[in-house]
Amino acid sequence: MPNGTFRLRRNRSQLPGFGLTLGLSVAYMSLLILVPLGALVLFSMNLSPREFWRVVSDSRVLAAFRVSFGSTFLAATIDMFFGFVIAWVLARYRFFGKRLVDAIIDLPFAIPTAVTGIALATLFSPKGLVGGQLAALSAWINARFGVNVSLDIAFSGTGIVAALMFIGIPFIVRTVQPVLEELDKEVEEAASSLGANFHQIFLRVIFPSILPALLTGFALAFARGLGEYGSVIFISSNAPYESEIVPLLIVMKLGEFNYEGASAIGVSMLACSFLLLLAINFLQAFARNRRKA
Amino acid sequence: MGIEISNVSKYFGDFAALDGIDLKIPDGELTALLGPSGSGKTTLLRIIAGLETPDQGSIRFFGEDATQKRTRDRKVGFVFQHYALFKHMTIFENIAFGLRIRPRKSRPDKETIRAKVERLLDMVQLNGMARRFPSELSGGQKQRVALARALAVEPKVLLLDEPFGALDAKVRQELRRWLRYLHDELHITSVFVTHDQEEALEVSDRIVILNKGGIEQIGTPEEVYDNPVNPFVYGFLGNVNLFHARFEEGVLSLRHREKDDGDPTLFIRPHDISIAPDNADGKGIAARVLTHKVLGNRVRVTLKTLEGDREAEAEIGKKEWNALKGNDLDAIYLRILEAKIYAPNETWSDYVI
C-alpha cells in the first residue's frame, strides 16, 4: 500500500463529520455571539477615541465599574466557598430531603431575576422579616457600644452582593459536585494508609483535584454576576458613585437616547470581562496541566 | 507472630461478610488470601488495614492491639487493584508523599527524601520516570509506583488488594515473579488478596482459603494443593472431574448411573487421567474422544466412557497426544491415576467400571 494513502486513513477519526460540525459551530457562534458583539463595537466607533475616552473615564462610570466588578468578585468568592460546601454535602452524604435540596440549588437559574430582586428587597428592607431584625440589632449596638454600625442589606452595596450570591451559587455547585462525586475513594484511603490525616488529605489530594472545576464555577458565576441587572436594581439603592452598577448606567444612557455612550460603556465592559475570563481560563489550564502534563 | 486476627466478624446488613475469623499471619511471610468473589477476602484485608472496622473481634500487630487504631497510625502499606495514584502529582511526588506529610519532627530533610525516592525508583525499575505523571505510565508501571509509594514509609505490614487484577496476562506474570523476588529481598510481612489460585500457588509462602466469610484451609501452597481438606478447596484450586461411585465387595464401582445417598464422590484432576490406545493392564476404562483442545504444550481432551456415558476431561502432554491421535479415537482406554474421596471412614483400593 502506498504510504500516503495509509497515513490519510489512519488520521481519520471513527466518527466522520469534523468539517460539518466545525462549520456549524463557527456559523452558530458567529450569528449568536460574534455578529451582535461586533455590531456593538462598530457602533461605539461612531465616537471619536477622545469622546470614547471621555465617556468611559467619567467618574460616575468608573465608580459603577468599581461597584460592578468589586461586588461581583466578592459575591463569586463567597459563593465559591459555600458552593463548595454544598457540593461536598450533596456528593458525600446521604440524608433525608437530599433530592429536594438538590433541586432547590437550580432555582436561581429558573426564577425571573426581577422576582429575586423584589423578594430579597422585601426580606431585607428595614421593615422586612430579616431587615427589621438587623435594623434593631444595629440600633442596639449603637446604643450599647456607641459604635455606629449599619447592618442594612437592602438599598446598599451589601444588597448587591447578596443578590449576586443568590444568582451565582448554582454555577459553583453544579460544576464542583460531579467532580467530587467522581473522586476515587481509594485515593483517599491510599493517602490515609501513608499516614495522612483528614486535613492533609483534603489539602493535598482532594483540593488539587477539584481546583479546575472550582475555577470554572467561579468564572461562570463571575460572568453571570457582571451581566446581572434585574435582581440588583431592585435591592440596590442605585445611588450614583455608591451602589450603581454598570448595566444600570447603560440602561440610563439608553433612556437618554445616548446610544453611543451606552455602546462605549458596553464595549469597555466587554473588554474587561473578556480579559478577566481569559485570565481565569489560563489559571484553569495551569491547574489542569499539572495533572495531565 | 506478625498479625493475629481473633474472632473477627463483619456484617453488611444481614449478610455476614466475615464470620468469626481466627488467623495468625507469621512475621516476614508472604500470605495469600484466596477465595471466590464474595468470600470476604477483601473485607478481611481492609479490616487489617483499618479501612473497615470489624463488628466484633480484635486485630493485633506484632503483639500490640491495633483494633482501635486508625489506618494512618497502623503503619501499613496498602496497594490497590486500580493503583489509586495521585493523578495531579508526578511519580516522584507520589512516592515522596508519605514522607513529606510527616510532622516536622520526624520528617526527613529534602535531600534524604530525594535519595530515598531515587532508591525506590531504582528498586521498582522506573529510573528516569520521576517527573512523569501517572497518566503517562502503563498499568504495570503504575502498580510498581503504587508499591514504591507504599514502601517509602517503611510499613511494618504490606497489604495488596488484587494487585495484578487489572493487568494483562503477560505483565501479570512478570509482576508476580518480581513481587516474589522483592519479598525475598525485603522480608516484609505481606498479605495479598487474589481470586486466582495459580497466582496464590506461585507467589505465596502460605495460602489462606476463604469461602462465604469463613476460612476453609490454611497451609503452604504444596500442602493445600496436595491435600485439599474438602470438596470446595479441591474444586477451587483446579479443574476437577466428579464421578459418583459405589462400594461393592470392597471394590469401588463406577458402573451405577444413579446416585444413592451415601455414595461417595470421586474427585479427579484432569491431569490425573491418562489415556492409552490399549488396555494392557486390564485397568483401563473404555472410552471415546469427543473433542480436544491444544493449549500450548498441554492438550485438554473431553472423553465419554462407552459404558455409562460419563463425560470426563483429561489433560495430557502434547507428546502423548501426538502418539495417541494416530489410533482409533472411538476406542481408547482411560486410567485414573489418582483420586480423592470426601466421605468419612471410607477407603478404597481398587475400582471397577
- Alpha carbon dihedral A206, A210, A212, A216, in 10-degree steps, equals -150
- Quote the minimal CA–CA distance from B189 to chain A in Å: 16
Answer whether B76 sits within 8 Å of A197, measured CB to CB.
no
Q: Is B332 helix (H, G, I), strand (E, B) or coil?
A: strand
Is A187 part of the contact surface with chain B (CB cutoff 8 Å)?
A: yes
pLDDT at site B239: 87
Is A48 part of the contact surface with chain B (CB cutoff 8 Å)?
A: no
Question: Which residues of chain A neighbour B152 with C-beta distances below 8 Å?
Answer: 194
**What residue in B sits closest to A198 (Cα-Cα)?**
B72
Calculate the alpha carbon distances from A135 to A121, A146, A147, A243, B177 in Å. Answer: 14, 15, 14, 19, 76
Query: Where does residue B128 fall: left (phi above 0), alpha (psi -120 to 50 degrees), or beta otherwise?
Result: left
Give dist(CA A168, CA A166) in Å, integer. Answer: 6
Is A77 part of the contact surface with chain B (CB cutoff 8 Å)?
A: no
CATH superfamily of A49-106+170-234+244-292: MetI-like (1.10.3720.10)
Give dist(CA B255, CA A280) in Å, integer. Answer: 82
Question: Which residues of chain A neighbour B70 with C-beta distances below 8 Å?
Answer: 192
B277-283: Cβ within 8 A, 24+ apart? B277/B324, B277/B327, B277/B328, B277/B332, B277/B333, B278/B333, B279/B333, B283/B335
Torsions phi, psi for B49 (to 5 deg): -75, -15
> Which one-letter DSSP state was computed for residue B63?
T
Closest to A195 (Cβ–Cβ): which among B82, B84, B153? B153
- Quote the minimal CA–CA distance from A287 to chain B in Å: 9
Which residues touch A161 (CB under 8 Å, ≥6 apart)?
Answer: A71, A74, A75, A78
Cβ proximity of A284 and A212 under 8 Å: yes
Q: Tell me, what amino acid is at B263? A: D
Answer whether A209 sits within 8 Å of B135, measured CB to CB.
no
> Which one-letter DSSP state was computed for residue B107?
P
- Tell me which residue has cell 458525600: A92
Answer whether B86 sits within 8 Å of A193, measured CB to CB.
no
pLDDT at site A86: 95
User: A89-115 as b/e, with b when 16 or more CB fall inside 10 Å?
Assistant: ebbeeeeeeeeeeeeebeebeeeebee
Q: Would you list which residues of chain B are within 8 Å, Cβ to Cβ, of chain A? A: 49, 51, 70-78, 80, 82, 84-88, 90, 97-98, 101-102, 132-133, 135-136, 146, 149-150, 152-153
Cβ proximity of B140 and B174 under 8 Å: yes
Answer whether A190 sits within 8 Å of B146, measured CB to CB.
yes
List all residues of chain A from 192 to 231 with a beta carbon under 8 Å from chain B: 192-197, 200, 204-205, 208-209
Question: Which residues of chain B neighbour A186 with C-beta distances below 8 Å?
Answer: 80, 82, 84
Is A32 part of the contact surface with chain B (CB cutoff 8 Å)?
A: no
pLDDT at site B121: 94
**What residue in B sits closest to A206 (Cα-Cα)?**
B86
Closest to B98 (Cβ–Cβ): which among A187, A194, A290? A194
Is beta strand B189-194 parallel, antiparallel or unpaired with respect to B157-161? parallel
Element spanning B242, H or E: strand B241-244
Give dist(CA A169, CA A116) in Å, integer. Answer: 13
For chain A, the structural domain boundaries read 49-106+170-234+244-292
pLDDT at site A126: 78
Answer whether B84 sits within 8 Å of A187, measured CB to CB.
yes
Answer whether B102 sits within 8 Å of A195, measured CB to CB.
yes
pLDDT at site A154: 65
**What residue in A sits closest to B152 (Cα-Cα)?**
A194
User: In degrees, to the nearest 5, what angle opens at C-alpha B326 toward C-alphas B320 and B327?
Assistant: 95
* Complex prediction ipTM: 0.83
CB pairs under 8 A between A and B: 77
**Beta pairing partners, B214:** B211
Give dist(CA B142, CA A147) in Å, integer. Answer: 62
Calculate the alpha carbon distances from A119 to A79, A154, A159 in Å. Answer: 19, 11, 12
Question: Which residues of chain B neighbour A208 with C-beta distances below 8 Å?
Answer: 88
Per residue in A265-287, pLDDT (tens digit) is 999 999 988 888 898 888 888 87
Mean per-residue pLDDT for A249-257?
Answer: 92
Is A110 part of the contact surface with chain B (CB cutoff 8 Å)?
A: no
> Per-10-residue mean pLDDT for chain B, 353 residues long?
92 91 94 93 95 94 91 92 92 95 91 94 90 92 94 93 89 90 91 93 94 94 91 89 76 68 81 87 85 92 85 91 87 87 56 50
Q: Would you state the cell numbers that stand for residue A12, as one nine-digit string?
A: 481519520
Say yes or no to pLDDT of A2 above 50: no
Give dist(CA B243, CA B201) in Å, integer. Answer: 26
Which residues touch A242 (CB under 8 Å, ≥6 apart)?
Answer: A63, A67, A157
> Which one-letter DSSP state was computed for residue B80?
-
HEC readout, chain A: CCHHHHHHHHHCCCCCCHHHHHHHHHHHHHHHHHHHHHHHHHHHCCCCHHHHHHHHCCHHHHHHHHHHHHHHHHHHHHHHHHHHHHHHHHHHCCCCCHHHHHHHCCHHHHCCHHHHHHHHHHHHCCCCHHHHHHHHHHHHHHHHHCCCCCCCCCCCHHHHHHHHHHHHHHHHHHHHHHHHHHCCHHHHHHHHHCCCCHHHHHHHHHHHHHHHHHHHHHHHHHHHHHHCCHHHHHHCCCCCCCCCCHHHHHHHHHHCCCHHHHHHHHHHHHHHHHHHHHHHHHHHHHHHHHHHC
Which residues touch B269 (CB under 8 Å, ≥6 apart)?
Answer: B238, B239, B240, B241, B315, B338
Is A289 part of the contact surface with chain B (CB cutoff 8 Å)?
A: no
Question: Which residues of chain A neighbour B135 with C-beta distances below 8 Å?
Answer: 291-293
From the CB of residue B245, how many other CB atoms can be counted at a distance below 10 Å?
A: 23
- Pick the residue of B69, B72, B156 with the most A CBs within 10 A to test the interface with A by mutation: B72
Answer whether A194 sits within 8 Å of B150, measured CB to CB.
yes
Closest to A291 (Cβ–Cβ): which among B76, B133, B149? B133
**What residue in A sits closest to B88 (Cα-Cα)?**
A291
Give dist(CA B247, CA B327) in Å, integer. Answer: 34
Question: Which residues of chain B neighbour A291 with C-beta distances below 8 Å?
Answer: 87-88, 133, 135
**What residue in A sits closest to B150 (Cα-Cα)?**
A194
Say yes or no to pLDDT of A3 above 50: no
**What residue in B sits closest to A287 (Cα-Cα)?**
B88
Give dist(CA B255, CA B239) in Å, integer. Answer: 23
> Which one-letter DSSP state was computed for residue B134?
G
> Which one-letter DSSP state was computed for residue B136?
G
Give dist(CA B61, CA B55) in Å, integer. Answer: 18
User: A51-68 as b/e, with b when 16 or more CB fall inside 10 Å?
Assistant: ebeebbeeeebebbbebb
Per residue in A188-232, pLDDT (tens digit) is 999 999 999 999 999 999 999 899 899 999 999 999 999 899 899
Closest to A291 (Cβ–Cβ): which among B77, B82, B88? B88
Give dist(CA B112, CA B125) in Å, integer. Answer: 20
Higher pLDDT, A50 or A285: A50
